[in-house]
């Protein structure tokens, strides 16, 4: 049986945006192992027929000893499993998984989901990251990018040369995120933001815009779905809820996110940087227009003036202006923008096309390698350590 190992930094990265790929691989007879940090939600992968290898990884840490330990864990894991191909997602799995795959001469496919905050400055951390990514991606069978700007950045920095391809993000499941009846015209225009509560997701601009808009009108509501990655906005959010019509829903299921988006008139996503903003695709698939930053990873998903509005990044005044502009549109015009957004998703972002491309690339790698899969040794699922002979029944 052909074995595919997937390396990721958290549950959401894979389950919310690549579940259809897992289902397809399992249905086609592949053995799927997923290495990612421990999370009670990982049980969902087992229900899909995958094996979960809970592997420690610090998503945002920069401690060199812990980073080296992650590389060691990946190297031991790949050496123990002997996968036929490795798929990596997000920066750290891409870097350490790519290096570990090279050590064991295992082919691997890399997906760049965004350049992140590291690339927003010219400090030491960026220089180290560039060097590591050059090393990690140099032997990748294919490096998938989700927008042209990220691709150009990696080319200009000499990280990739010819082994790349473009995908429309992770695509969107048009069945799961079906077209919904547009929220009724009941005198209140509802806006929703679905994102981690972080500065680089534009929450500073969002809160400034809400304050500005609510100072002059009382026919709007704002809903926030997401979780805190630090305490930066906890006190601010509490104050916003006390002063303005702001409701925070916290972390909810993917199905509930869809319901909340479908019950809104517009999605707001003022992010500072993206690979491809999946929430924009999901809102558009449901027939909801968006207001978002005019940046790579967002502008591809929204036709300004047609399926939503684009604003300059980090511009709270522009965001407030476009919120009012959307609220002032007749219901029928807002609805037509949502329908146009759905048509755009059907034409350009169907997730099945993304799944097909991954399958084609995996099959191409396997044909090139024509490898015979070794007998898989027993593996400690918690650490990736090879178990001693006869220890399975200890």
Give residue 94's pLDDT band: very low, low, confident or very high (50, 70, 90). Answer: very high
- Cα separation, 124 vs 38, whole angstroms: 31
pTM above 0.75, yes or no: yes
- Helices 203-214 and 316-328 pack at an angle, to 10 degrees, of 50
- Cα separation, 145 vs 167, whole angstroms: 6
Q: Give the model confidence (pLDDT) of 328-373 as tens digits.
A: 999 999 999 999 999 999 999 999 999 999 999 999 999 988 744 3
User: HSE (CB half, 13 Å, CA atoms) of 70?
Assistant: 26
Q: Which pLDDT score is estimated for 232?
A: 87
- Strand ordering across the sheet containing 164-166: 51-54, 31-36, 3-7, 85-89, 108-112, 142-145, 164-166
- Cα separation, 186 vs 110, whole angstroms: 47
Burial class (CB in 10 A: 0-12, 13-18, 19+), 281: buried
Q: Establish whether domains 3-171+350-393 and 189-348 are of one fold.
A: yes
Nearest to 191 by CA among 172, 178, 210, 215: 210
CB 82 within 8 Å of CB 373: yes
Nearest to 207 by CA among 316, 321, 309, 322: 316
Q: Which pLDDT score is estimated for 383?
A: 40
- Helices 351-369 and 11-27 pack at an angle, to 10 degrees, of 70
Distances (CA, A) of 8 to 15, 34, 46, 264: 10, 8, 16, 31
Q: Which pLDDT score is estimated for 208?
A: 98
Lowest mean pLDDT among 122-131, 140-149, 181-190, 235-244: 122-131
pLDDT beyond 60 at 382: no
Return the domain boundaries, the chain. Answer: 3-171+350-393, 189-348
CA angle (295, 206, 123) in 5-degree steps: 55
Beta bridge partners of 350: 172
Q: Which pLDDT score is estimated for 385?
A: 39
pLDDT beyond 90 at 1: no
CB 190 within 8 Å of CB 264: yes
Fold classified for 3-171+350-393: Rossmann fold (3.40.50)
pLDDT beyond 70 at 376: no
- Cα separation, 133 vs 303, whole angstroms: 33
Q: Give the model confidence (pLDDT) of 231-285 as tens digits.
A: 889 999 999 999 999 999 988 988 999 999 999 999 999 999 998 999 999 999 9
If one compares 1 and 295, the residue with the highest pLDDT of the two is: 295
Mean pLDDT of 109-133: 83
Q: Which pLDDT score is estimated for 384?
A: 40
In CATH, what is the architecture of 189-348?
Answer: 3-Layer(aba) Sandwich (3.40)
- Cα separation, 39 vs 14, whole angstroms: 13
């Amino acid at each position: 049986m052909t074995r595919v190992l997937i390396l990721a930094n958290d549950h959401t990265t894979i389950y919310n945006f690549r579940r259809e790929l897992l289902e397809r691989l399992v249905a086609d007879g592949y053995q799927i192992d997923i290495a990612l940090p421990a999370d009670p939600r990982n049980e969902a992968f087992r229900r899909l027929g995958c094996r979960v290898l809970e592997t420690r990884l610090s998503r945002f840490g920069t401690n060199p000893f812990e980073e080296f330990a992650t590389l060691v864990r990946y190297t031991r894991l790949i050496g123990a499993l002997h996968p036929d191909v490795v798929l990596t997602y997000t920066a750290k799995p891409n870097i350490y998984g790519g290096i570990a795959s090279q050590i064991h001469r295992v082919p691997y496919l890399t997906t760049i989901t965004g350049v992140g905050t590291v690339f927003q400055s010219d400090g030491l951390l960026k220089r180290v990251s560039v060097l590591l990514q050059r090393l990690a991606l140099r032997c990748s069978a294919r490096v998938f990018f989700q927008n042209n700007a990220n691709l150009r950045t990696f080319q200009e920095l000499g990280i990739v040369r010819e082994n790349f391809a473009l995908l429309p993000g992770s695509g969107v499941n048009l069945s799961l995120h079906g077209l919904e009846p547009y929220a009724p015209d009941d005198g209140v225009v509802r806006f929703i933001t679905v994102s981690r509560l972080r500065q680089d997701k534009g929450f500073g601009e969002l809160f400034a815009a809400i304050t500005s808009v609510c100072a002059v009108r009382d026919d709007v509501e704002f809903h926030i779905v997401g979780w805190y990655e630090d305490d930066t906005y906890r006190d601010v959010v509490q104050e916003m809820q006390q002063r303005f019509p702001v409701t925070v829903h916290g972390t909810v299921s993917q199905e509930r996110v869809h319901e909340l988006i479908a019950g809104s008139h517009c999605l707001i996503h003022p992010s500072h940087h993206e690979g491809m903003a999946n929430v924009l695709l999901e809102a558009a698939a449901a027939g909801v227009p968006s207001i978002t930053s005019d940046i790579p990873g967002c502008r591809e998903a929204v036709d300004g003036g047609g399926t939503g509005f684009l604003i300059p990044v980090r511009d709270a005044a522009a965001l407030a202006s476009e919120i009012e502009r959307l609220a002032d549109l007749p219901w029928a015009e807002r609805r037509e923008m949502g329908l146009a957004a759905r048509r755009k998703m059907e034409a350009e972002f169907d997730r099945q096309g993304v799944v097909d491309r991954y399958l084609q690339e995996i099959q191409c790698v396997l044909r090139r390698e024509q490898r015979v899969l070794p007998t898989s040794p027993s593996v400690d699922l918690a650490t990736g350590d090879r178990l001693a002979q006869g220890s399975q029944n200890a």
